[in-house]
Structure 1
Amino acid sequence: MRTGVKIAAGVVGAAVVGAAGLGAYNLVDAVADGGSGARTKAAPVPTGPPSASETERTARDFLAAWAAGETRKAADLTDNAEAATTALTGYREAAHVEKVAFKQGAATGAKVPFSVTAEVVHGKQRSTWTYDSSLAVVRGQTSGRPLVDWQPTVVHPELTEGRSLRTGTTQAAQITAVDRDGTELKVSDFPSLASVLPELRKRFGEKAGGEPGVEVRVEGGPAGSGDGQAKTLHVLSPGKPGRLRTTLSAAAQRAAEAAVAKHDDASVVAVKPSTGEILAIANAKKTEFNPALSGQTAPGSTMKVVTSALLLEKGKASPGKPLPCPKNATYGMTFHNVEESENPGATFAQDFAASCNTAFVQLAGQIPDDALATEARDVFGLGLEWKAGVPTFDGRVPTDSGAGKAAAMIGQGRVQMSPLNMASVAATVRSGSFHQPYLVDPALDGRELAKAPRALSPAAARDLRSMMRLTALSGTGAGAMAGLGGDVGAKTGSAEVDGQSRPNGWFTGYRGDVAAAAVVPRGGHGGDSAGPIVAAVLRAG
């Protein structure tokens, strides 16, 4: 019987709804309004800027939720809950912030400053990180609620769009770089090492016994924004610096720095012929690019050292053999000497010492097109893959024919070298064989140094040393090398460059077991511009 009542009531209800649709709605409204019979009107959505009290309360509630680890609650108090959730989660998980507290400051209009005290934990490292930030409170466009205007900078002022916070070990351990005798090498003392020391840190920090530090960093950024460089915001641990012994000589480096500083643009490198150890690297211009090691320009007549080695070994010339030096010579095109000098009765050694271009051009037809490139690679190691411990350009001598071959013989055309390459060329003559230049002992990281297929023939090495000595004592290098004494050798060069009113000045030479080469862009004659730089380094070495 009770069941029948329920069914009847249900039927009656359905009939009411079906018979009087509008009346049914009125009935519902009346029930909802407590039986008054009048419909409740929705409250109007607030507009206009949030009041001072709304701003203060919203900021307080947001910061309290963030501090309590209630990420979703904090995000719901912003006008972009999804983005806020991602950022606040990353703050806890990627930045490793275990606990955070805030001190809210007085609002200025809609802006509320606050200070942050964060406890960052990474492995065994724990540190307190403090900084200041701010937020702004705005009115929700649809809800009318006061909300935090979400921006990544709320988390940290450096956290701009597309960037993220991360706590982790540094990419490389710090190093204390020292010279061959244990003297510390600081950029403040040796400015030219500003681009070298970071590279050494990156490659050898941990191998030298260093331990990476732990840092909070801001990383990333939209493509093309210029914000891609990581920036350290807080250091949990500086790590342990490794001690890296280099092949540099503080005395030679100091002399090199002083010598290039006399020019607006100049570069020099010194090496030890018997081993290939790099003793000094200096550039007048202090930029990230290191022209002393990585420059790629025509070496001018300093290339005649390599060309002479080829001619001597092929039997096409000898020091005392007559080889006239005319004003002009033609091989594919017409070549001339500096100041159009000439010496009809010259010997090959005198041509070399006076840097006669035309004498060398006259012999271009007597050597195969690939002979100079082969000599440069097989004897002087040019173009092989050098592994110096820092980035280097390793020389380029392309195979060429016609005028290109003749130009290459005098260091023009497509031949390209750096001061490091030409210092190594002089060192190879001095020692008789190629020793790949290096800045850090290869035993530290197991590098295999480049090896030239063969040594310079003993007869050619002897003849070349005598010709370079003649150049240093009475040829074009005599002015720069005056007073050095001992076992010396030199070769000057002036490399013409399209669009330059003055050629680049080059000089390479050795004294005992130190060889060096320098270039002065637009310096003119190499003996006058680059020569004194090389002599200063040889004197110190």
Structure 2
Amino acid sequence: MGKRRRVAERRRTTGPVLVGGVIALVVGGAGFAVYALTGGGAAADDRAPATAGHKTVKTGPLTAAEVRTASARFLTAWQQGRLAEAAAATDDTSAATRVLDGVAKDAHVKDVTLTPAAAKGDTVPFSVKATVSYQKLSKPLAYASSLTVVRRASDGKPLVDWRPSVVHPDLKDGDTLVTGESGTPPIKALDRDGGELTAAKYPSLGTVLDGLRDKYGKTAGGRAGIELRVVRGKASQKAGLSDKTLVELSKGTPGTVKTTLSPAVQAAAEQQVAKQKRASVVVLRPSTGEILAAANTDHGFNVAFQGSLAPGSTMKIVTSTMLFEKKLITPDASHPCPKTYKLAGWTFHNDDDSEIKKGTFKQSFGASCNNAFIDFAPKLSNSDLTKEAQQVYGLGMDNWAIGVPSFDGSVPVQSGAQMGASLIGQGGVRMNPLNMASVAATVESGAFHQPYLVSPDVDHRTLAKAARTMSAKTQSQLKDVMRFTADYGTAAKAMAGMSGDYGAKTGSAEVDGQKKPNGWFTAYKGDLAAAGVVQAGGHGGDTAGPIVAALLKMGG
């Protein structure tokens, strides 16, 4: 169901227009607006020059009339059940036919009423009201969607730009809508205190609850109900997306799945991420790996567990572990941080082109001075950082089994300048808040404990283990530099007022095409560890830092 190339810049217009001097007429039917257009074309029409034996191909931006006509042709045909005609009104007839036929035959959706809103440029929002009927059961279905009109390259004809999300916003390539007895019984997810977890109470948990049902629904003792569901295709499954219930026609009997989530910490995490755009956070218990909270500002994709983002300078915790273990540096050793450093043809800069001429490694860690780390690159092999991340922190092994889909981080073997960039969490390094909370937790406890949301006792699965444990000396050195950062470095503002055993590290990760970097923050306090990211938020100490610190102050 691939996308078709757009061949013209789109004209941004809204509202009704005159077409050849004739007003577009609304002639309704079943609550749907159908536009009857007559007369000549819009004055702004552009046509490629005609040559002998060739038809004139219209080019140029779409007119408002063309957008109205093309969208009305598709929506009218769909509403009236003329699905072949609706599919032919798109730029991918075969793909559209499969999805539209599936909605009628497999999803058992009927009595469709489509109501378009005012176009926004070439995009037309519309509402859908229908009935889902299966055997003797029926339930109403209502949602909002949108379509975009494009000009076909071969003949200039305006058509609906086909994508499955036109039919339903939750549909992606390869997904289907199906009504019937669900293959997986529902589950009742419980927090660690026995209270029920719902997406209504904890909005961030929608994808988590879907994942729990996928994994435990068939073994938790429930009985399937009749539902309209999005059944994920191979591409969506590979992306870690779970099936999703849209309408429940008859309730099944849910099985019960207990999680490690803390109701108080989860509620606080939801409140904290709501203060920022595109924020995500995870809280763990270092002594066990239990996940106490996971929250995201945006609820469509679980960045907290499944994100794959450069972690920036929070990765310097792993880099420092390697440097300490190799005895290349100690926290209090003199180690300047030059303003620039050249490696394999690249020139690396520090934030704001700062430098530390006479200072210790601890001061460079606390100030997050990049070149104090990159200048170790000539003393390292290409695989050293990868081995450290895998063997001590359990990262990048693709073997975590937390109870729902997750990404375990990636630290690929790289060479030259890219290897140097990896030392400061750029290059090919990819993490999410779950991974970086685990890094802080490993420092706090001295050993890797694979994070988990559902106890392995529930299904007797084996949790991942690290190949080795850092020495007590290395742990002490890491706690030293992280405590310094929390008290005097880039994390000091966020961690102000903290007491007990604590440490932190900030990060800012540059992203191509993004004005501000992603802001990262990871820290521990007692038997709590947390990490957060605010995408395009700027410096981690100012954005993700307050979120993480507020959750750590809840106690541990």
TM-score by length of 1: 0.66
Partner of 1:180: 192
Superposition deviation, residue 484 in structure 1: 2.0
Contact kept, 8 Å, 2:139 with 2:247, in 1: the verdict is no
Candidates 362, 374, 377, aligned match of 2:387: 374
Is 1:433 aligned with 2:455? no
State the alpha-carbon separation in 1 of the partners of residues 303 and 461 from structure 2.
Answer: 23
Contact kept, 8 Å, 2:187 with 2:213, in 1: the verdict is yes
Is 1:457 aligned with 2:471? yes
Contact kept, 8 Å, 1:166 with 1:219, in 2: the verdict is no
Partner of 2:97: none
Superposition deviation, residue 536 in structure 1: 1.4
Candidates 271, 277, 299, aligned match of 2:284: 271
Partner of 1:353: 366
Q: 1:474 to 1:229 in 2, by over 3 A?
A: closer
Q: 1:493 to 1:218 in 2, by over 3 A?
A: closer
State the alpha-carbon separation in 2 of the partners of residues 242 and 196 from structure 1.
Answer: 16
Contact kept, 8 Å, 1:481 with 1:535, in 2: the verdict is yes
Partner of 1:68: none
State the alpha-carbon separation in 1 of the partners of residues 388 and 134 from structure 2.
Answer: 64
SS of aligned partner of 1:255: helix
Partner of 1:531: 545
Q: How does 1:230-249 map to 2 (within 5 A)?
A: 234-235=249-250, 238-249=251-262
Contact kept, 8 Å, 2:487 with 2:495, in 1: the verdict is yes
Partner of 2:351: 338
Q: What 5-or-longer segments of structure 2 have no aligned partner?
A: 1-105, 108-132, 141-175, 232-242
Partner of 2:332: 320
Candidates 232, 247, 259, aligned match of 2:272: 259
1:494 alignment partner AA: S
Question: What is the aligned length?
Answer: 381
Contact kept, 8 Å, 2:507 with 2:519, in 1: the verdict is yes
Is 1:194 aligned with 2:240? no
Partner of 2:401: 387
Q: 1:175 to 1:350 in 2, by over 3 A?
A: same
Is 1:501 aligned with 2:501? no
Q: 1:357 to 1:216 in 2, by over 3 A?
A: closer
State the alpha-carbon separation in 2 of the partners of residues 474 and 173 from structure 1.
Answer: 53
State the alpha-carbon separation in 1 of the partners of residues 214 and 469 from structure 2.
Answer: 34
Contact kept, 8 Å, 1:207 with 1:444, in 2: the verdict is no
Superposition deviation, residue 256 in structure 1: 0.9
SS of aligned partner of 2:282: strand
Contact kept, 8 Å, 2:134 with 2:179, in 1: the verdict is no
SS of aligned partner of 2:542: helix
Partner of 1:294: 306
Q: 1:131 to 1:515 in 2, by over 3 A?
A: closer
SS of aligned partner of 2:396: coil
Q: Deviations over 1:47-87 (max 9, x none)?
A: xxxxxxxxxxxxxxxxxxxxxxxxxxxxxxxxxxxxxxxxx
Partner of 1:303: 315
Report the RMSD for the aligned CA atoms in angstroms. Answer: 2.9
Q: How does 1:131-210 map to 2 (within 5 A)?
A: 168=181, 170-210=182-222
Q: Deviations over 1:402-427 (max 9, x none)?
A: 11111000001111111111111111
Candidates 445, 451, 460, aligned match of 2:459: 445
Contact kept, 8 Å, 1:330 with 1:361, in 2: the verdict is no
SS of aligned partner of 1:349: helix
TM-score by length of 2: 0.64
State the alpha-carbon separation in 2 of the partners of residues 218 and 507 from structure 1.
Answer: 37
2:355 alignment partner AA: E
State the alpha-carbon separation in 2 of the partners of residues 423 and 486 from structure 1.
Answer: 19
Superposition deviation, residue 207 in structure 1: 2.9
Contact kept, 8 Å, 1:171 with 1:202, in 2: the verdict is no
1:400 alignment partner AA: Q
2:366 alignment partner AA: A
Superposition deviation, residue 212 in structure 1: 2.5
2:215 alignment partner AA: R
Superposition deviation, residue 240 in structure 1: 2.2
Partner of 2:491: 477
Q: 1:167 to 1:471 in 2, by over 3 A?
A: closer
Q: 1:327 to 1:446 in 2, by over 3 A?
A: same
SS of aligned partner of 1:391: coil
State the alpha-carbon separation in 2 of the partners of residues 479 and 399 from structure 1.
Answer: 35
State the alpha-carbon separation in 1 of the partners of residues 516 and 229 from structure 2.
Answer: 47
2:427 alignment partner AA: G
Q: Deviations over 1:249-287 (max 9, x none)?
A: 111111111111011211111111111111111100121
Superposition deviation, residue 538 in structure 1: 1.0
Superposition deviation, residue 242 in structure 1: 2.1
Contact kept, 8 Å, 1:364 with 1:406, in 2: the verdict is yes
Q: Deviations over 1:370-428 (max 9, x none)?
A: 10000000000001211111111111111111111110000011111111111111111
State the alpha-carbon separation in 2 of the partners of residues 218 and 406 from structure 1.
Answer: 47
Q: What 5-or-longer segments of structure 1 have no aligned partner?
A: 1-93, 96-117, 121-127, 133-162, 221-227
2:456 alignment partner AA: P
Contact kept, 8 Å, 1:486 with 1:512, in 2: the verdict is yes
Partner of 1:33: none
Superposition deviation, residue 129 in structure 1: 4.6
State the alpha-carbon separation in 1 of the partners of residues 259 and 229 from structure 2.
Answer: 33
1:376 alignment partner AA: A
State the alpha-carbon separation in 1 of the partners of residues 373 and 522 from structure 2.
Answer: 19
Superposition deviation, residue 206 in structure 1: 4.0
Superposition deviation, residue 216 in structure 1: 7.3
State the alpha-carbon separation in 1 of the partners of residues 322 and 502 from structure 2.
Answer: 22
Larger helix share, 1 or 2: 1
Contact kept, 8 Å, 2:418 with 2:427, in 1: the verdict is yes
State the alpha-carbon separation in 2 of the partners of residues 419 and 172 from structure 1.
Answer: 29
Superposition deviation, residue 217 in structure 1: 6.3
2:262 alignment partner AA: S
SS of aligned partner of 2:508: strand
Q: 1:376 to 1:469 in 2, by over 3 A?
A: same
